Amino acid sequence: YLMAIEVDVAVLGGGPGGYTAAIRAAQQGKRTAIIEMSKLGGTCLHQGCIPSKSLLRSADVYATLLKAHTYGISVAENAISIDFDRVQQRKDQTVDQLYRGLQSLMAKYGITIINGKGRIIGPSIFSPRSGTVAVELADGEMESVVSKHLIVATGSRPRQIPGLEADGRYILTSDDALKLESLPASIMIVGGGVIGVEWASLLNDFGVEVTIVEASDRILATEDDDVSREMARLLRKRGVKILTSVSLKADTCKTNESGLTITAGSGEDDLELQASCMLVSIGRIPNTEGLGLENTDIRTDANGFIVTNSFYQTSERHIYAIGDVIGGVQLAHAAAHEGIAAVEHLNGEKPDAIAGHLIPRCVYARPETSSVGWTERQAREKGIDVKVAKMPFQAIGKAIVAGETDGFVKVIADNETNDIIGVHIIGLHATDLIAEASLAQLLDATPWEVGQSIHPHPTLSEALGEAMLALDGASTAF
Ligand code: FAD
């Protein structure tokens, strides 16, 4: 070993979970280090949230230009074209700008960044209650990091289909898709979850022929039935093919110059599918391989995710785990909040446990969807006596002004207690609108109280306020 670095808190993995935890630890005066084998920012900054949203924005601009005439603007259709190199460059610049910001944030807080692959080698020789991480540095040298507390935030990677492993040309993961040098003529998207639907929307906007192949009976299967049905309707209206309750026969996949063919379905209903390439977006698996968990008592569940208590402590009490590597809600803001809760706990505080269903969920397709709380189906399954109101954006001035009236706000409340049970939005800027619903649930506001707060006119936020009032028959908007 080259040397041993001693800190109070070592964070393994520098994604949104890890770097947020590190900042909070530094704010509390702890000597903090992040061990990162790739680039600070993690999946979120380099393969997830940010680059995909940059591409979606370019696709949105293109789609808007194609219907510019509906706003009274004439643009000759042959004057509009996609410069995909520039689209990719803009994405890279966006990532770069945030990457530099993140690096200066680390410097500001005096957080030590150790570039290398970390492996837990067990309780430290300096103190049995602390952890030691061996780090293989980029140049092959080894370094060891000794800390009182360790936070594992190593994230996740795309799950592959056995027999249909990604090759970067015919079969792509979402990581590969971000690196496409040109747009394919057609694509088969396997898995109609968040990532699949976002890619379907953006590639369809870019003129790619898109087919979604989904094994369950609907896309966005974890969202409220009404939202998932509306998203399917809107995507189909744009020409996206959606096949549900269909599974692929991996051993039938054949490739040729123009792409691939594969059989889907079963028995008589077999379908022959063909596309230039395939994007596999069927979920993510935790990054625990080579982590040295065998040197600890840390437990993992049947799917390999690290098991923690509600303060994110693993079975080794001085080792915490947060973010995608523990499963649950695999979103950047969830990872960040878990990171903060873990640091507060190791600092001797008792942070409130985070209720998983109160973490907002977002899909950045066109239109966007967002939700917080239970779906109507979940609420009914829990035996809650629900009341439901739906406010269509068609009735909202700002949506008409924007020329984007698809979708609605759906609010579900408990008839007895008057608690807000869930809010589900599909429509323009849905992902920004959900923040108010999230605050309302945090403050335990009643629908009536949310409706009483004055929503500026004309804004899309009126849809939420009016939906809340509509629960008591008090909306004046319709
Ligand atoms: P990660 O961000 O995965 O970071 C883990 C880090 O640990 C990585 O940098 C990795 O290199 C490092 N690491 C792993 N093992 C080691 C090791 N042994 N030693 C050293 N370093 C190691 N979420 C949202 O909230 N909004 C979105 O819009 C959104 N869009 C997404 C789009 C796509 C295409 C994808 C794939 C994901 C998206 N997500 C989105 C999910 C989000 O990216 C993740 O939930 C989030 O990044 C998880 O953060 P994390 O800190 O747990 O892990």
CA 413 to CA 14: how far, in whole Å?
39
**Any idea of the CA torsion for 230, 235, 239, 244, to the nearest 10 degrees?**
-80
Give yes or no for residue 330 CB within 6 A of ligand 1. Answer: yes
Statement: residue 332 has pLDDT above 90? yes
Average pLDDT score over residue span 332-339: 98
95, containing H or E segment: helix 84-108
Q: pLDDT at position 134, please? A: 79
Can you tell me whether residue 427 is helix, strand or coil? strand
Burial class (CB in 10 A: 0-12, 13-18, 19+), 473: exposed
Ligand 1 midpoint to CA 152 (Å):
12
Q: pLDDT of 252-303, one tens digit each?
A: 999 999 999 999 986 677 899 999 999 999 999 999 999 999 888 999 999 9
**Active centre residues (catalytic):** 457
Ligand 1 midpoint to CA 378 (Å):
28
Average pLDDT score over residue span 323-345: 97
444, containing H or E segment: none
- DSSP characters over 226-267: HHHHHHHHHHHHTT-EEE-S--EEEEEEEEETTEEEEEESSG
Can you tell me whether residue 423 is helix, strand or coil? strand
Split at pLDDT 50, 70, 90, the class of 137 is: confident
Mean pLDDT across the chain, nearest whole number?
A: 94
Give yes or no for residue 174 CB within 6 A of ligand 1. Answer: yes
Give yes or no for residue 286 CB within 6 A of ligand 1. Answer: no
Q: Which amino acid is at 49?
A: C
Q: Is 214 annotated as a binding residue?
A: yes
Give yes or no for residue 339 CB within 6 A of ligand 1. Answer: no
CA 222 to CA 193: how far, in whole Å?
8
Name which of 419, 353, 425 is nearest 396 in CA terms: 425
Q: Is 473 annotated as a binding residue?
A: no
Residue with tokens 């809760």: 341
**Cis peptide upstream of residue 16 (ω within 30 degrees of 0):** no
Q: pLDDT at position 125, please? A: 46
Residue with tokens 């408990």: 414
Q: How far from chain centre, in Å, is Cα 251?
A: 31
CA 204 to CA 63: how far, in whole Å?
10
Give yes or no for residue 422 CB within 6 A of ligand 1. Answer: no
> Ligand 1, from 106, 154, 337: best to mutate by most atoms within 8 Å of Cβ?
154
Q: pLDDT at position 266, please? A: 64
- DSSP characters over 37-60: SS-TTHHHHHTSHHHHHHHHHHHH
Name which of 330, 248, 333, 245 is nearest 284 in CA terms: 330
Q: pLDDT at position 123, please? A: 62
Q: pLDDT of 186-233, one tens digit each?
A: 999 999 999 999 999 999 999 999 999 999 999 999 999 999 999 999
Ligand 1 midpoint to CA 343 (Å):
19
Q: SS in 3 state form for 375-414?
A: CHHHHHHCCCCEEEEEEEHHHCHHHHHHCCCCCEEEEEEE
Residue with CA nearest ligand 1 atom 6: 13
Burial class (CB in 10 A: 0-12, 13-18, 19+), 290: exposed
Q: pLDDT of 63-112, one tens digit each?
A: 999 999 999 999 987 899 999 999 999 999 999 999 999 999 999 999 99
Could you tell me if the ipTM is greater than 0.95?
A: yes
User: From start to end of 30-111, where are the E strands?
Assistant: 32-36
Give yes or no for residue 48 CB within 6 A of ligand 1. Answer: yes
Statement: residue 124 has pLDDT above 60? no
What is the model's pTM? 0.96
Q: Is 156 annotated as a binding residue?
A: yes
> What residues pair up with 189 in beta bridges, in sequence order?
212, 279
Angle at 54 between CA 397 and CA 332, to 5 degrees: 90
Question: Which atom from ligand 1 is nearest to the alpha carbon of 323?
Answer: 52
Angle at 269 between CA 265 and CA 271, to 5 degrees: 60
Name which of 288, 329, 299 is nearest 153 in CA terms: 288
- 11 φ/ψ angles, rounded to the nearest 5 degrees: -115, 125
Residue with CA nearest ligand 1 atom 9: 42
Q: Is 15 annotated as a binding residue?
A: no
